[in-house]
Amino acid sequence: MSEGDYVLRARTIGGEGTELLAPSVGVFLPRVAEGELIASGQSIGMIEVLGVRRSLFIPQNLEGRVSQRIGGGRARVPVQYGDVLLSISTTAMAMRSDAASSSRTADSEGALAFTAPMSGRFYSRPSPSEPPFVSAGDIVKRGQTLGLLEVMKTFNRLVYQGDALPDAAKVERVVPNEGDDVVRGDVILALRALAEG
163-178 pLDDT, tens per residue?
A: 778 888 999 999 998 9
- Confidence check: pLDDT of 93 > 60: no
Quickly state the pLDDT bin for 28 (edges 50, 70, 90). very high
Mean pLDDT of 71-75: 79
Higher pLDDT, residue 152 or 103: 152
Domain boundaries, the chain: 6-89, 111-193
- Confidence check: pLDDT of 21 > 70: yes
Which architecture characterizes domain 6-89 according to CATH? Answer: Beta Barrel (2.40)
Higher pLDDT, residue 195 or 135: 135
Cβ atoms of residues 82 and 21 within 8 Å = yes
Cβ atoms of residues 22 and 85 within 8 Å = yes
Mean pLDDT of 26-47: 86
- Confidence check: pLDDT of 106 > 60: no
DSSP E strands in 50-186: the ranges are 52-57, 63-69, 77-79, 84-89, 111-115, 120-123, 139-141, 145-151, 154-159, 168-174, 181-182
Average pLDDT along the chain: 82
- Confidence check: pLDDT of 109 > 50: no
Neighbours of 165 (CB within 10 A): 22
Higher pLDDT, residue 163 or 105: 163
Q: In CATH, which of 1.10.3720.10, 2.40.50.100, 2.40.30.40, 3.40.50.20 is domain 111-193?
A: 2.40.50.100
